[in-house]
Amino acid sequence: MGRESRGHESRESENRTFRLVCGEAEIPAVERLLRVQGYEFRPLPFDPFARELLAEPFPLGTSFALRFGRIYIQDRSSMLPPLALAPPSGAGVLDMCSAPGSKTGMLSRMVGPDGFVLASEPSAERVGILRMNLRRYNAANVGTVRSPAQDLSLSAGRWTHIQLDPPCSGWGTLNRNPGARELWSGDKLPPLIALQKTLLTKAASLLAPGGVVVYSTCTTNVQENEEQVRWAMDNLGLVPESLERPQGFTFETPLLPGMDGVLRVADDSLGQGFFLARLRRPGALPHDVLTGAGAHDCARPGAKNALGSLPGAPLDRERLPAMQGAGPMAVESLPPGMLYESRGTLFFLHQGLLPCVEQGLRVRGFPLGRCKTLESRGGGRPGSKKMGGKKAGKGRKNGGAGGMNDRARFQVDPTARALMPSVQEAGPAAVQVDDAASLEALLQGRSLTAASADAKGPAPLYFDDMPLGWLTRKGKRLLWPEKSMIS
């Protein structure tokens, strides 16, 4: 079997890899956050946000950077599919098999605040993990759906970019899962291969002419890789496109002829064994594709009432800063979209996802914190008829566009950096911490002392001017909450 090496390292020299969760301007601050604890690392050549760990004085999973949602531990091979899809800023992306969310998070950063990602996952447990990770890493432009991807009620031909990383046998992960080949073989393979075909068929139907889907697996099994690509070419009319071979990997020659453009990461490469193919639907992009502008329907015809599937009551964005307990919220920092309240939690939903909701898809937005309605005339509990919730009927007559009544308290989730102003905009409210001892004290439950006892609401926390999260204020004591308040 032929192979091509890009880099001279073998698996024996492999170290853990991770990626930085930030914008380009924040890269130096995240790196400094790691270095104050003694971590050493080096950049990887295939992505400016990818790093290889060289020295680990403490488990990386306990680092400040991870606990504040500023790094994601991820195998280097697993970083390749979003890079192969390469959605531009402002694009709408469908991530068909999303959990635990590593690739979803990369896509979120790549499309930027003007773009969005719709992430689906059928398992209740795994969709919970997906949502937890997206919350920690502040992927505010992602909406999630608990559903098998093949059952999504989306109309045909509207998506320009689809990520499909389907369930597979995992033969490429033998270094971590030595029993994978034995477990996923024999009569267990045919149902898996059939599911992959079903998902490919669904992806092909959703692609706009000119749109692309990246099909990837963490297996070395030709039946799940090259043979599936050949099947998609013959039966779905998809055309493979050549992928560049990124540096730092060893690649094998594809196992079927006519597959020169696919990537097969070798078993003994740095990173786990992996397969990637980029497939395009022939034709020119139509004008009515789905983008972050949210101007076009993405679901089947037969619309319900506008926002009929929104799982809660809408809330005007402009009202959030005026809520009791809101503090120095920067609502303008959120991407374009809307707020809604559901079961006491305030969510943000990107405007690019609104057409999906209008057509009946139950999309869960990004959680920002807890809303508590205070007793007042005409008030009521969230979700009740008085609150304009799900029982309010068409148009939510009683709650209207505002949703909650005029007396409500908002408690921001400590991880909701999406609502944080810049350190300059925060002014005296900002809490700047630049040393390891103070951060360690906060994470161990000890408090910092506020500059003023008269300040109200949560305090935004920064490291090297980079937002970390929200501190809870108790008089002059500032505390980092042990857990998120959102399940």
Active site residues: 218
Asked whether residue 100 is marked as a ligand-binding residue, the answer is yes
Asked whether residue 197 is marked as a ligand-binding residue, the answer is no
Asked whether residue 153 is marked as a ligand-binding residue, the answer is no
Three-class DSSP labels, the chain: CCEEECCCCCHHHCCCEEEECCCHHHHHHHHHHHHCCCCEEEECCCCCCEEEEEECCCCHHHCHHHHCCCEEECCCHHHHHHHHHCCCCCEEEEECCCCCCHHHHHHHHHHCCCCEEEEEECCHHHHHHHHHHHHHCCCCCEEEEECCHHHCCECCCCEEEEEECCCCCCHHHCCCCCCHHHHCCHHHHHHHHHHHHHHHHHHHHHEEEEEEEEEEECCCCHHHCHHHHHHHHHHHCCEEECCCCCCCCEEECCCCCCCCCCEEECCCCCCCCEEEEEEECCCCCCCCCCECCCCCCCECCCCCCCCCCCCCEEECHHHHHHCECCCCCCHHHCCCEEEEEECCEEEEEEHHHHHHHHCCCCCECEEEEEEEECCCCCCCCCCCCCCCCHHHCHHHCCCHHHCCCCCEEEEECCCCHHHCCCHHHHHHHCEECCCHHHHHHHHCCCCEECCCCCCCCCEEEEECCEEEEEEEEECCEEECCCCCCCC
Asked whether residue 451 is marked as a ligand-binding residue, the answer is no
> Collapsing DSSP states into helix, strand and coil, what is residue 101?
coil
Cα angle for residues 322, 327, 333 (degrees, 5° grid): 85
Q: Which of 146, 162, 139, 157 is closest to 350 using CA atoms? A: 139
Asked whether residue 379 is marked as a ligand-binding residue, the answer is no
Asked whether residue 242 is marked as a ligand-binding residue, the answer is no
| Structural contact between residues 370 and 345, judged by C-beta atoms closer than 8 angstroms | yes
Asked whether residue 459 is marked as a ligand-binding residue, the answer is no
Asked whether residue 92 is marked as a ligand-binding residue, the answer is no
CA distance 42 to 292: 34
Asked whether residue 168 is marked as a ligand-binding residue, the answer is no
Query: Residues annotated in the binding site, as ranges?
Result: 97-103, 121, 165
Residue list, annotated binding site for S-adenosyl-L-methionine: 97-103, 121, 165
